[in-house]
Amino acid sequence: MSAFSERVAELTGAGEEAMERLAGGDVSGTLRVTRPEGGTVVAKGGMTAVEAMMLRRLAEAGVPVPPIEGEYDGVLLLGFVENDELFSPRAWADLGAVLRRLHGHSGEDYGWPVDFAAGSVLISNRPSSDWGQFWADERLLAPAALLDRPWRERVAAAAEIARATLPALPEPILLHGDMWRGNVLVADGEVRALIDPICYFGHAEADLAMLSLFDAPPEEFWDAYGPLETGADIRRPIYELFHAIVHMRLYGPRYGPLLDRLLTQIGA
């Protein structure tokens, strides 16, 4: 039993046979745990205090999230939420409404009070009053710093394009930060919870770009969410590039073609 599993056992009273590793556990450690007295919880590792803070902020914005049962210095216990993974048109429409509600909340600056991490990749959230500068420095150059030199040079060129292309002062909207289908739990055509947030305040299009990176949300989603701003298609690959860089850092060269495609689209 790993040290993480041992700590979960101490907190829940469950034996190793009652723990099941869930998808995504390769990044932060995620277990489905059946308690001896009955009931199921999800145990997560990583920067648990920060994640708990982000989940609470999403809940305050009226977004469904898993109930927090406790945060114990490296172990976050969450209530188990059913997920049938069936993204029907109704479920997509509900997701559009959920994101519209989330994006109705704003802050003062771009960024977040503390840094976070996606697995081994530090996510710098240093607050800024200039959105283009924030995206170039904290979402492109910072995570790309450990890529091979040819990639770093192309990302540096993309960062200059981002500074010139992105709006300087969009409303600082509360973002989920890692908004893809895998972080949306659905059942019976409704969104039951958003999970695994990497929250910060920024341009709403950043969430929408991530959602479109691996999916093509149908018209039901866009009808519920509302129209995009002029020029969103031009900005989308700049926003998607951040996630491609993180995937390259986490999972290696298999994401090279995606990174190359986005850099080429941007003109870098």
pLDDT in tens, 181-192: 999 999 999 999
Query: Cα–Cα distance between 30 and 43 in angstroms, integer?
Result: 6
Low-confidence ranges of the chain (pLDDT < 50): 25-26
- pTM above 0.85? yes
Domain spans of the chain, in order of start: 3-79, 89-266
Which tokens sit at 163? 């500074």
Please give the single-letter amino acid code of residue 27: V
pLDDT of the residue at 38: 87
Which CATH architecture fits 3-79?
2-Layer Sandwich (3.30)
CA-based nearest residue to 57, from 202, 175, 138: 175
Domain 89-266, second-level architecture: Alpha-Beta Complex (3.90)
**CA 37: distance to chain centroid?**
33
Reference 202, options 230, 228, 167, 164; nearest CA is 167
How many angstroms separate the CA atoms of 218 and 236, rounded? 17
Q: Three-class SS of residue 18?
A: helix
CA distance 84 to 189: 9
Q: Look at residue 27 in the predicted model and tell me its pLDDT.
A: 52
Check residue 25 and give its pLDDT.
44
Q: List the 30-34 sheet strands across, edge first.
A: 19-21, 30-34, 40-44, 76-79, 68-71
pLDDT at position 28: 57
